[in-house]
Chain A
């Protein structure tokens, strides 16, 4: 039974498996290795995931959703048609699709996976990812940090030793990790990141700028116009370094506007985002305590690192060209697949040992007597960039006379005040009544390789230990929720796999039809009608022939490059 490695991305997902002849990326139903993380429900109530769903984003945006990874670890729900979904549930649908692809590819049942998460994902987000895997019928024993996964892929590929700086700018998250390779050891020195910075933010900035210039409000646009704008800007972003001065025809609020995409314009609106990207890089360098001269190689991972502006910024920061000779879109999936393979057959484990760090500080709140109005102070227990797994004990004592309970609340973050950090949960333990400061409890935080935290509290005087945690995990499901979610998700079924290519083509045709006018529109309409006729005849040879022809025609008509 194989374990697969999955890169569950904001924009695209991919899946790989370690076979006897190296890492194999699993092709999806369209034969492609990247599956857009888009979920759609079609008119028949069936589930559509991937490229077909992405095409539907334009014309069926109220039953289609993308970039929901951003909402992982929150309680927000998204309404698709009449049903509500959490980000966890949506992610599980993408995972299910990948799982089925892998099952078809390997011809056996898959029940376990290693899923990659951004290194800077917090506990809530990690729990949500794990749960998404479980909802998709995958046991997730190991979460791997994305930059670490990329490093594994690079490390096995190059077999080079030295210090590596991995910059992972994906669709929605940015991660920085500094690693060292030597003698088969891969040691992560420091990780930092920004959970809300990625390629989508560049597009968002472009759109904000366009709308501001044209004095339009986002809410005043029809969903279709807005999604079209997203698509056009995504295309423009991808082409920005090849051709400057692209002329776009935008359809906004019923009027047609010409918009010139110049590289100066793009540079200007990227600057704040690039500045944000610099922060985690600087912080990781500081935490790792390495001068930039000691970095042997800067490795770029994630599709958004293709942005020339980002590359030149990195180039300027480190005085050298970053390398990216593995495909930045799939390298994380490859690394996750290797990790999955290592986990599966213990024999191969002798090759490589990985040590990782905890990217943020974990601690508890302590009474702030200097300025109570600001709330409690944060008492760090596990400092950020401590090597994991780790287990650290700190003692705290009662703050008042005759206190009979101690409440240990668990926070994660870097601020000295708890209220500005992320609240993870709490645990209240009874203590004997004594004058203040005389009762001591020992708080033990244990952080495992997956980035998940466990807390034990021992009351010193009674010797009793408690570890039942009142968890505060937004988006987390209890047993009852889980059964309900499973029931809801089980009702959603995919179309037969073999139809997927036809569906993707039809969805694309439909998008092109709605985007064009006049003669061209008639032409597309005729093409789609004839394709429908061919499909009805169910002659496989003929279908694939017509499909190839149609794809060629659509390629010519389609000016967008956004999937």
Chain B
């Protein structure tokens, strides 16, 4: 069925008629009752609206093509009288059009130089509107032309040399004020950027929000762009210095993040890439990527004796292949654990035994060692069953204790594992010998159906396989 048939309508370019037909059909195709038919109807409706629009445009174009020349002449005349800077700027802008043409597909581009070049009629039209409107003036004014005047300022760094400004001041005192403010703020930015000891303190950047012009799109975009470029240059330079073993301080990620919140660099990424060098943009966007932005949900919560936070559970990474821990490394891990326990528990215990029971040092140490071994069993049980899934020694090795599904074992299962371990202990040396031939999956592991996995290796192998 064609979209027109679904709508029960003859093909037409009348949007109103399409809407009426859709409304009529929709009353019998309720989204909650007939979801599939509704989807079909809705897409037919959207399609028909688009088709109608296209049809209309075509019709108009054929009419218009006859009168375009006349319009072009008029707009040129208007341009000359209404906005001297448009004509002046065209000279500046033209070389950049190439760069900007990438932006062409964006309909709402904060900087679109070609808007000036390709559609002079639009610019002058906008300016006409400005004069007619009072409340909405601010918005209408940010045509592409003005954006560039400001950028010219910032690139030239010296406002007074620029002849445009005087013309502007007469035309629009408010804008002039905004530009002055812009330069003042920019000066402040530059001063701050010269002091590496200060520029990574977030509080020092608060001045950016002191002006209400921040809410003005034109001001915001231009200031954002300039600061973005400076940040990028500093960080690129710092990066180069680092490769030559020289030290230079980078703008830290939290400052970049802070400014991103103010200027929405992330949202404006395509325009920034259009306006600046790719390497500059990459540099900042890479730092933005690495920084996680999460709003604390508890912010603004009021009252209550205490907030008990639960960590968000991230889905565990899974690999296709897991590697058992090596027997030797596991031995080392146990020794490390014992050493740690001896320092933490055994040493103190031996001193206490010596003082309280008045025993000779040798005997006390032996008892303390025994205590250590018991403590080890206890610790292994708790630590391996906890979400660390490893004793400190195993943790250092990058090992984790898992069940057969490579997930964390619970405390119950952990106890069973502990029991299995103590059961295999009486085998003594024979036990060790057997374990040597078990390929890292030792007797007590098998008995308690748990694994000791080399997570580090598993992950590395996994990544390697993906890459290669």
Residues on A with C-beta less than 8 A from B22 are 185
Contact residues, A318-353 vs B (CB, 8 A): 318-321, 349-350, 353
Q: Return B145 CB to nearest CB of chain A, in Å.
A: 19
Say whether B304 contacts A274, CB under 8 Å.
no
Can you spell out 25 A-B residue pairs with CB atoms less than 8 angstroms apart?
A61-B303, A62-B303, A70-B298, A70-B301, A77-B308, A79-B307, A80-B305, A183-B24, A185-B19, A203-B300, A230-B302, A269-B209, A271-B209, A271-B215, A279-B264, A283-B267, A285-B108, A286-B108, A316-B136, A319-B133, A319-B140, A353-B27, A387-B31, A389-B39, A472-B313
Given the interface contacts A76-B308, A78-B308, does A449 sit within 8 Å of B32 by beta carbon?
A: yes
Known A70-B298, A79-B305; contact A420-B292, beta-carbon cutoff 8 A: yes
Q: Is the CB of A74 within 8 A of B215?
A: no
Partner of B30, one of A61, A184, A353, A373: A353
Q: Are A389 and B38 in contact (CB under 8 A)?
A: yes
Task: Please report the C-alpha to C-alpha distance between residue A80 and residue B108 in the assembled complex, in whole angstroms.
Answer: 50
> A521: CB under 8 A from chain B?
no
Please report the C-alpha to C-alpha distance between residue A472 and residue B24 in the assembled complex, in whole angstroms.
41
List residues of B (29-53) whose CB comes within 8 Å of A's CBs.
30-32, 35-36, 38-39, 42
Is there contact, CB below 8 Å, between B305 and A271?
Answer: no
Verify B20–A426 contact, CB threshold 8 A: no
Q: How far is the CA of A227 from the CA of B305 in the complex (A)?
A: 13
A212 to B303, CA, bound (A): 21
C-alpha spacing A409/B212, complex, angstroms: 44
Q: How far is the CB of A4 from chain B (nearest CB, A)?
A: 20
Q: Which one of B20, B27, B304, B462 has the greatest number of beta carbons of chain A within 10 Å? A: B304
8 Å CB contact of A271 from B24, B212, B310:
B212
Does chain B have a CB within 8 A of A528?
Answer: no
Stretch from B314-322, B323-331, B389-397 contacting the other chain: B314-322
A461 → chain B closest CB, angstroms: 20
Dominant SS among interface residues on chain B: mixed
User: Shortest CB–CB separation between residue B175 and chain A, in angstroms?
Assistant: 14
Query: In this assembly, does A315 line the interface, its C-beta being within 8 Å of a C-beta of chain B?
Result: yes
A240 to chain B, nearest CB (A): 14
**A472 to B137 alpha-carbon distance, docked (Å):** 49
Cross-chain contact A355 with B301 (CB below 8 angstroms): no
- In the assembled complex, how far is the CB of residue B113 from the closest CB belonging to chain A, in whole angstroms? 21
Q: Judge whether B210 is part of the interface by a CB distance below 8 angstroms.
A: yes
Q: Are A474 and B310 in contact (CB under 8 A)?
A: yes
* Residues 455-510 of A contacting B (Cβ, < 8 Å): 472, 474
Which of A62, A75, A318, A472 is B136 in contact with, Cβ under 8 Å?
A318
Q: Are B138 and A79 in contact (CB under 8 A)?
A: no
Partner of B301, one of A68, A195, A271, A283: A68
Does B466 belong to the interface (CB within 8 Å)? yes
Is A388 a contact partner of B136 (Cβ separation < 8 A)?
no
Q: A319-B133, A407-B318 are in contact. Are A389 and B31 (CB under 8 A)?
A: yes
- State the Cβ distance, A140 to closest chain B Cβ, in Å: 15
Contacts of A372 in B (CB 8 A): 462-463, 466-467
A196 to B294, CA, bound (A): 10
Chain A nearest Cβ from B39, distance in angstroms: 6
Query: Assuming A68-B301, A195-B295, A426-B315, what are 18 further A-B pairs, CB within 8 angstroms?
Result: A70-B297, A70-B300, A79-B304, A79-B307, A80-B304, A81-B305, A185-B19, A196-B295, A201-B300, A227-B303, A272-B209, A274-B215, A279-B267, A286-B108, A319-B136, A369-B467, A372-B467, A474-B313
Distance of A77 Cα from B311 Cα, bound (Å): 11
Among B19, B138, B466, point to the contact of A316 (Cβ < 8 A).
B138
> What are the residues of chain A within 8 A of B39 when measuring CB–CB?
387, 389-391
| Contact across chains for B36 and A391 when beta carbons are under 8 A apart | yes
| Residues 65-97 of chain A, each 1 if its beta carbon lies under 8 Å from chain B, else 0 | 111101100111111110010000000000000
- Residues A41-75 near B (CB distance < 8 A): 57, 61-68, 70-71, 74-75
Judged by a CB distance under 8 angstroms, whether A317 is at the interface is yes
Q: Which residues of A contact B292 (CB under 8 A)?
A: 420
How extensive is the interface on chain A, given as a class?
A: 35 or more
Q: Contacts A65-B302, A184-B23: A271 and B214 contacting too (C-beta < 8 A)? A: yes
A445: Cβ under 8 A from any B Cβ? no
- The total number of A-B Cβ pairs within 8 Å is 187
* B307 lies within 8 A of A196 (CB): no
B135: nearest chain-A partner, CB-CB? A319
Closest to A172 in B: B300
**Counting CB contacts under 8 A, is B186 at the interface?**
no
Q: Which of B215, B267, B300 has most chain A Cβ within 10 Å?
A: B300
Q: Is A272 within 8 A of B261, CB to CB? A: yes
Chain A's closest residue to B295 (CB) is: A196
Shortest beta-carbon distance from A18 to chain B in Å: 18
Do A78 and B301 contact each other (CB < 8 Å), given the known contacts A353-B31, A389-B38? Answer: yes
CB-based nearest A residue for B264: A279
Evaluate contact between A321 and B310: CB separation under 8 angstroms.
Answer: no
Select A61's contact among B212, B304, B312, beta carbons within 8 Å.
Answer: B304
Seen from chain B, the residues whose Cβ lies within 8 Å of a Cβ on chain A are 19-20, 22-24, 26-27, 30-32, 35-36, 38-39, 42, 108, 133, 135-140, 203, 209-210, 212, 214-216, 220, 261-262, 264, 267, 292, 295, 297-310, 312-315, 318, 320, 462-463, 466-467
With A315-B135, A317-B139 given, is the CB distance from A79 to B308 under 8 Å?
yes
Task: Give bound CA distance, A504 to B212, whole Å.
Answer: 41
CB-defined contacts of B216 to chain A, threshold 8 Å: 316
Q: Quick one: closest A residue to B290, CB to CB? A: A374
Tell me the minimal C-beta distance from B45 to chain A in angstroms: 9
Contact A65 B303 (CB under 8 A): yes
A271 vs B211: C-alpha distance in the bound complex, in angstroms?
8
Q: What are the residues of chain B within 8 A of A65 when measuring CB–CB? A: 301-304
Q: Name A389-421 residues within 8 Å CB distance of B.
A: 389-391, 400, 403, 407, 409, 419-420
Please tell me if the beta carbons of B305 and A74 are within 8 angstroms of each other in the complex.
no
Question: Nearest Cβ in chain B — how far from A297, in angstroms?
Answer: 15
Q: How far is the CB of B301 from chain A (nearest CB, A)?
A: 5
B310 touches A74 (CB 8 A): yes
For residue A120, CB closer than 8 A to chain B, the reply is no
B220 contacts across to A, CB distance below 8 A = 275
B26 neighbours in A (Cβ, 8 Å): 185, 353, 355
Bound Cα distance from A201 to B314, whole angstroms: 28
Task: Please measure, in the bound complex, the distance between the C-alpha atom of A313 and the C-alpha atom of B136, giving whole angstroms.
Answer: 11
A367 at the interface (CB under 8 A from B): yes
Q: Are B303 and A66 in contact (CB under 8 A)?
A: yes
A contact residues around B20 at 8 Å (CB)? 182-183
Q: Which residues of A contact B138 (CB under 8 A)?
A: 316
Which residue of A80, A227, A313, A400 is within 8 Å of B302 (Cβ)? Answer: A227
A278 at the interface (CB under 8 A from B): yes
Complex CA gap A267/B210 in Å reads 8
Closest to B311 in A: A75
Q: Is the CB of A78 within 8 A of B307?
A: yes
With most chain A CB atoms within 10 A of its CB, the pick from B30, B215, B216, B306 is B215
Say whether A159 faces chain B, with CB atoms less than 8 Å apart: no
**Is A268 part of the binding interface, using a Cβ–Cβ cutoff of 8 Å?**
yes
A102 to B315, CA, bound (A): 43
Closest Cβ of chain A: how far from B138's Cβ, in Å?
5
Query: Which residues of chain B have C-beta atoms less than 8 A from A271's C-beta?
Result: 209, 212, 214-215
Q: B295 and A275: CB pair below 8 A?
A: no
Are B209 and A74 neighbours in the complex by a CB distance under 8 Å?
A: no
Question: Chain B: which residue is nearest A84 at the CB level?
Answer: B308
Q: Please, which residues of chain B bring their CB within 8 A of the CB of A204?
A: 299-300
Q: Is A260 an interface residue (CB 8 A)?
A: no
B303 and A200 within 8 A (CB): no
In the complex where A71-B298, A353-B31, A391-B39 touch, is A367 in contact with B466 (Cβ < 8 A)? yes
